[in-house]
Amino acid sequence: MQKQVLRSLPGCVSIPIGAGKVVAPPLRVQGRTCRQTAAARSADQQQRALPVGPLAKHGQLKQNASRIVSSAATVDSATVVKTQRVYTFGKTMSQGDASMKQLLGGKGANLAEMSRIGLSVPPGLTITTDTCADFHTNGRKLPDGCWEEVLQGLRTVENEMGCKLGDAKAPLLLSVRSGAAVSMPGMMDTVLNLGLNDTCAAGLAARAGDERFAYDAYRRFLDMYGDVVMGIPHHLFEDQLEHLKAERRVTEDTALTAADLKVLVGRYKEVYKQLGKVFPEDPYEQLRLAIYAVFDSWQSERANVYRSVNGITGLAGTAVNVQAMAFGNMGPTSGTGVCFTRNPSTGERKLYGEYLINAQGEDVVAGIRTPEPIETLARTLPGAYQQLLDNCALLEKHYKDMQDIEFTVQEGKLFMLQCRSGKRTGAAAVRIAVELVDEGLVEPDVAIMMVEPGHLDQLLHPQFADEEAYKKDVVGKGLPASPGAAVGQAVFSAEDAEAWRSSGLPVVLVRRETSPEDVKGMYSAEGVLCQLGGMTSHAAVVARGWGKPCITGCPDLQVDEHNKLARINGVEIRQGDFISLNGSTGEIICGKQRWRRRSWLAI
């Protein structure tokens, strides 16, 4: 009798009486949500058998039948299919792939994809974008069962790495990074080196045989965790670093010894205490709060502004990527960098990017140091450079588009940390689309869709009327991070840029370094000038995406944001002074130079 009832339920598998299990079919409903997709993929990939209680009453079974089938649940109404909220990636298995950007975010989907195609990617896990939406809906609480899934995924990472979070002798260190379905460079939060406390730092030093490396990681973690998770202004940590360097009479962070860095760790902890903040010693509590902070950053002002400016709508939230650290700060054979498989300003088919030796990723993208051009990596770390070239060629062919790549070299070994379709100027978009067709990677109809309306608008942006005429007024030169001509009055804060622009005044935003909080000011400005940073910093990437001229990494420029002035080669620039930028050459020019708009006939 029971067997006949089971046969009458659409989609259920016939089983013998007393077997105690009914296997639910995978969901294949058109227009399904991300959660349904997750349940379906979980059923397809893992082929789970869904446990149920004893098949007791015919009447109860009939009463629950419609609910069982529609939700892909089991015969027992008390047992339901759980939404999969955590997907792992690594050498042994990657549960996601590049097609899952809406669920895993662009970063998570591409980390899984790179793992699948055999690239060297540190293992990790991705918490879904749907979980971010539920987190905010539920009053900043993780959904039931999510934390347990995180811990289960963490075991997979620990097994692959041979380390354990919080272990005194072999501590696992993690990065916790955001990743929405649409790229939002620098607009959400990141925490690196998570998992350190006094005990684990000593264990890391002993395991690595390098005390300086361990305490450099520790001081970086205290700084970033304090800023992102605890709400402590970053400049308070930066002030302590600068004071210590002055005391030791050194100019570079890398000149500080292990003993110096231990002192710095103590001073960073005092910053916490002075503000009444308690640094969590428990690595699991560190992880939980870092996940909360990344989800919170989805609703930050800078993220909301960026989405509004770029017309980004309809996203559930950001995913959270928890990944084993690869260390670029382990000495002269380690480093970190960002590169594009083609020039994002011109579209030229040539590797474009920058790197820093003995550094971590945020040093490059945050614009706090001026990096080295990527081609010099061929001399510094030739083996890693050749592998990077090979990986770039493979990824561009795989994705059939120009790629923006983050990488780390740890003691000579290359690790891939991110890939995504790179943001580009209008001129670059046209050239890349045409050349991808010529190379046989895409069809013409696909190439046409790669050139967006905004790209065409950028082609009409201002150019200087006569570049030879202003040469006598050039006062300095930096890195040409984003091309074009900008003319405006110098301002030294994002707030002033926004206020002056709202009054109808053209402005150039001048900063020592930019941060994601400057996004409103960058959007309001005609151009951006930065003392520090490189051509792959977040400021440069965002400026190129908006078609705004940007110059970074000016060694002769000294910016005093407090007094609202800058000095360069004996020339003083005060707030309100007109300056001009040639983002194509990196030239900084005094005065209000003549410019003109290009016409379609000139393109």
Which pLDDT tens digit goes with each residue over 98-117? Answer: 999 999 999 999 999 999 99
d(CA 64, CA 55): 12
Q: Is the pLDDT of residue 75 over 60?
A: no
Q: Is the pLDDT of residue 601 over 70?
A: no
79 vs 439, higher pLDDT: 439
Are the C-beta atoms of residues 563 and 490 closer than 8 Å to each other?
Answer: no
Q: What is the pLDDT of residue 435?
A: 98
Tokens representing 288 are 């939980």
d(CA 37, CA 27): 7
Best CA proximity match to 187, nearest among 521, 499, 422, 539: 539
Q: Is the pLDDT of residue 25 over 60?
A: no
Best CA proximity match to 90, nearest among 323, 287, 393, 284: 323
* Torsion over CA: 468, 591, 473, 531 (sign): negative
Q: Is the pLDDT of residue 480 over 60?
A: yes
Q: Is 269 helix (H, G, I), strand (E, B) or coil?
A: helix
- Beta-carbon contacts of 120 under 8 Å, excluding residues fewer than 6 positions away, are 413, 414, 415, 416
- The 10s digit of each residue's pLDDT in 316-332 is 999 999 999 999 999 99
Are the C-beta atoms of residues 6 and 22 closer than 8 Å to each other?
Answer: yes
Q: Is the pLDDT of residue 8 over 60?
A: no
- Beta-carbon contacts of 79 under 8 Å, excluding residues fewer than 6 positions away, are 50, 51, 52, 53, 73
Dihedral angle, C-alpha 409, 415, 417, 423, nearest 10 °: 70
Could you give the angle at the alpha carbon of 586 between the alpha carbons of 585 and 589, nearest 5°?
105
Backbone angles phi, psi at 481, to 5 degrees: -80, -30
Q: How many residues does the chain have?
A: 603
Q: What is the pLDDT of residue 106?
A: 97
Q: What is the pLDDT of residue 80?
A: 52
- What is the CB neighbour count within 10 angstroms for residue 288? 15
d(CA 97, CA 94): 7
Least confident of 19-23, 80-84, 301-305: 19-23
Q: Is the pLDDT of residue 492 over 70?
A: yes
**Which residue pairs from 111-117 have beta carbons closer than 8 angstroms and sit at least 24 positions apart in sequence?**
111/321, 111/323, 111/418, 112/87, 113/398, 114/395, 114/416, 114/419, 115/89, 115/90, 115/91, 117/394, 117/398
Distance of CA 572 to the CA centre of its chain: 36
- The 10s digit of each residue's pLDDT in 270-328 is 999 999 999 999 999 999 999 999 999 999 999 999 999 889 999 999 999 999 999 99
Q: Mean pLDDT, to the nearest integer, of 467-487?
A: 92
Q: Mean pLDDT, to the nearest integer, of 255-262?
A: 97
Distances (CA, A) of 166 to 109, 117, 124, 282: 28, 31, 16, 7
d(CA 452, CA 311): 13
Tokens representing 250 are 């050194």
Tokens 């000011």, residue located: 521
Q: For all residues of the chain together, what is the average pLDDT?
A: 87
SS3 content of the chain, % helix, strand, coil (to 5): 40, 20, 40
- The 10s digit of each residue's pLDDT in 121-138 is 999 999 999 999 999 999
599: confidence class by pLDDT, cuts 50, 70, 90: low
34: confidence class by pLDDT, cuts 50, 70, 90: very low
Q: Is the pLDDT of residue 24 over 70?
A: no
92: confidence class by pLDDT, cuts 50, 70, 90: confident
Q: Is the pLDDT of residue 66 over 90?
A: no
- The 10s digit of each residue's pLDDT in 329-379 is 999 999 999 999 999 999 999 999 999 999 998 888 776 678 999 999 999
Best CA proximity match to 191, nearest among 340, 337, 294, 38: 294
Parallel, antiparallel, or unpaired: how do β-strands 550-552 and 527-530 relate?
A: parallel
81: confidence class by pLDDT, cuts 50, 70, 90: low
Q: What is the pLDDT of residue 10?
A: 33
Q: Mean pLDDT, to the nearest integer, of 508-522?
A: 91
598: confidence class by pLDDT, cuts 50, 70, 90: low
Q: What is the pLDDT of residue 466?
A: 81
Q: Is the pLDDT of residue 520 over 60?
A: yes
Beta-sheet strands, E only, within 349-501: 352-357, 372-373, 403-410, 413-421, 462-464, 474-477, 479-482, 485-491
Complete domains list, the chain, with CATH: 2-70 (no CATH), 86-324 (3.30.1490.20), 335-453 (3.30.470.20), 462-602 (3.50.30.10)
| Model confidence, pTM | 0.80
63: confidence class by pLDDT, cuts 50, 70, 90: very low
Q: Is 183 helix (H, G, I), strand (E, B) or coil?
A: coil
69: confidence class by pLDDT, cuts 50, 70, 90: very low
Q: What is the pLDDT of residue 356?
A: 95
